[in-house]
Amino acid sequence: MSDGELLALAARTLDWAVILLFAGQFGIFLATLSAAAVALLERPPAASPALMWRRYADVAPAITLIAPAYNEGLTIVASVEALLALEYPAFEVIVVNDGSSDDTLQRLIDRFELRPAARLCQHVAPHAPIRGFHASPRQPRLLVIDKHNGGGKADAVNAGINASRTPLICITDADTLIEPDALLRAAWPFVDEPLTIAVGGTVSIANGAKVDRGRVIEARLPTRYLPLVQTLEYERSFMQARLGSDRLRALMIISGAFGVFRRDAVLEVGGYSLGTIGEDLELVVKLHRRFRESGRPYALRFLAEPVVWTQAPETLGDLGRQRSRWERGALETFWTHRAMTFNPRYGMVGLLGFTQLLLVDVVGPILAALGYVLVPLCWATGLLDRDHFLAFLAVVFALGILMGLLSLILEQVLLGRIARARDLATLAAIAVAENFGYRQLCNLWRVQGWWQYLRKHQGWGPMTRQEFKRT
* Annotated domain spans of the chain: 3-39+346-460, 47-340
pLDDT band (50, 70, 90) for residue 300: very high
CATH, domain range 47-340: 3.90.550.10
334-361 pLDDT tens trace: 999 999 999 999 999 999 999 999 999 9
Q: What is the DSSP letter of 300?
A: E
pLDDT digits 0-9 by tens, 421-430? 888 889 889 9
Is residue 173 within 8 A of residue 256, CB to CB? The reply is yes
User: Alpha carbon of 399 to those of 18, 29, 290, 369, 396: distances in Å?
Assistant: 12, 10, 36, 16, 6
Those residues whose C-beta lies under 8 Å from the C-beta of residue 21, and which sit 6 or more positions away, are 359, 363, 364, 367, 368, 371
Q: How far from chain centre, in Å, is Cα 251?
A: 12
Q: Check: CB of residue 306 under 8 Å from CB of residue 183.
A: yes
* Largest CA-CA distance found in the chain, in angstroms, rounded: 83
The C-alpha atoms of residue 78 and residue 174 are separated, in whole angstroms, by: 9
User: Buried b / exposed e across 20-42, counting CB within 10 Å, b at 16+?
Assistant: ebbebbbebbebbbebbbebbee
Q: Quickly state the pLDDT bin for 441 (edges 50, 70, 90).
A: very high
What pLDDT, on the 0 to 100 scale, is given for residue 60? 92
pLDDT for the residue numbered 21: 80
Q: Give the burial string for 364-386 (b: 16+ CB within 10 Å, else e).
A: bbebbbebbebbeebbeeebbee
Query: Do 177 and 206 contact (CB within 8 A), yes or no?
Result: yes
Q: Would you give the end-to-end CA distance of the chain in angstroms?
A: 71
Weakest-pLDDT range from 89-103, 243-257, 324-338, 363-377: 363-377
Of 106-110, 373-377, 415-419, 450-454, give the lowest mean pLDDT range: 415-419
Compute the distance between CA of residue 329 and CA of residue 285 in angstroms, rounded to an integer.
Answer: 12
- Strand order of the β-sheet with 210-212 is 215-218, 210-212, 469-470
Residue 207: predicted pLDDT: 87
Question: Of all residues in the chain, what percent are helix, strand and coil, respectively (each to 5)?
Answer: 55, 15, 30
| Whether the predicted pLDDT of 228 surpasses 80 | yes
31 closest CA partner among 411, 406, 396: 406
Angle formed by the axes of helices 316-336 and 279-293, nearest 10°? 20
Q: Tens digits of per-residue pLDDT, 247-291? A: 999 999 999 899 999 999 999 999 999 888 889 999 999 999 999
379-391 residue pLDDT tens: 777 776 777 778 7
Residue-averaged pLDDT of the chain: 87
**Structural contact between residues 202 and 96, judged by C-beta atoms closer than 8 angstroms:** no
pTM: 0.90
Chain center to CA of 318: 16
| Cβ partners under 8 Å of residue 236, min gap 6 | 403, 404, 407, 408
CA 268/CA 380 separation, integer angstroms: 57
- For residue 107, which of 97, 94, 119 has the smallest C-alpha distance? 97
Question: 237 near 205, Cβ under 8 Å?
Answer: no
